[in-house]
Amino acid sequence: MLGRFGRLLFSLAIIGIGVETLICSYVSSHKVVPVIPWLPAIPSLAYPVGTIFILCGAGLLFQRTLMVSSITLGFVMLLSGLAFDVPRHSDLMSAPWRTNVLEPIAIGCLAWLASGLGDIPGWLHRTSRYLLAFALIVFGIAHFQVLTFIASMVPGWIPWHWFWTVFFGVAFIAAGVSFATGFLQRWAALGVGLMFALWTVTIHLPPVLVTPDPDKWSDVFIVVALWGGFWALVHDLRDRKDLSLGTGSNQPHEEANGPIA
């Protein structure tokens, strides 16, 4: 149930990102999708990209379209992070690098890893794991870089702001190491998903209920996508020896031990 719920959240969040992209492009005529820096701005690019997000998000809900939707979404997200934003932000540890580059890359990796695709190429599987591990470690380091700022985002009714900021920073780094080494990845995915779930409810969702700011809605959709993606990944890790036990085999447990009830 956790895996299905996570995949549903992930799919709905991607649809939400696509719908918001189309609405913002139509209402404000604003370039909400970055383009390659050495080319002139192309505001109309937002329309096909938003449509792709909607179609991919919907396609993740159906087995027949799962593979093409996962592969397409992963490459679009990776392209958005690497080709569109890396040339603009050269500082690896800057806030734009974390949000504009690593967040879409992380979502793209989750699209490949958490889709339950049994025949994903081995090189893509390993690359996704390592990119995801890298993103998580950078997210964790950022908690110590801007400790005061992140602590200020914790709602006032929650005690020990600095403690939770440090705790989640360490948790991010530990999860990144887990994905990089292949050790306890199922628990890492479960914990990171739980973190994003808590942040959705306590930090990101309350502001959009007061002020319909497009940027804040984007934050909600991104955090929900990460929440759902990591929980969907828990289901996939349960079926793969190389992820859950680090043995290096890509074969599902069903092939060795019979079907899982």
Which residues, 6 or more positions from 64, have their beta carbon under 8 angstroms from its beta carbon? none
**If you count them, how many residues does the chain have?**
261
The CB density around residue 254, as the number of other CB atoms within 10 Å, is: 11
Question: Does position 115 have pLDDT exceeding 60, yes or no?
Answer: yes
Residue-wise pLDDT tens digits, 150-172: 888 888 788 888 888 899 899 99
Rounded average pLDDT over 84-113: 72
Q: Can you tell me the distance from the alpha carbon of 236 to that of 182, in angstroms, rounded to the nearest whole number?
A: 14
pLDDT category at 15 given cuts 50, 70, 90 is: very high
The answer to whether 82 touches 97, Cβ cutoff 8 Å, is: no
pTM: 0.79
The answer to whether 78 touches 197, Cβ cutoff 8 Å, is: no
pLDDT category at 258 given cuts 50, 70, 90 is: very low
Tokens for 167, please give them: 């705790």
Tokens for 110, please give them: 């989750």
Whole-number average pLDDT of the chain: 77
pLDDT category at 148 given cuts 50, 70, 90 is: confident
Question: Does position 56 have pLDDT exceeding 90, yes or no?
Answer: yes
Half-sphere exposure of 85 (CA within 13 A, CB side): 24
For 258: left if phi > 0, alpha if psi spans -120 to 50, otherwise beta; the answer is left
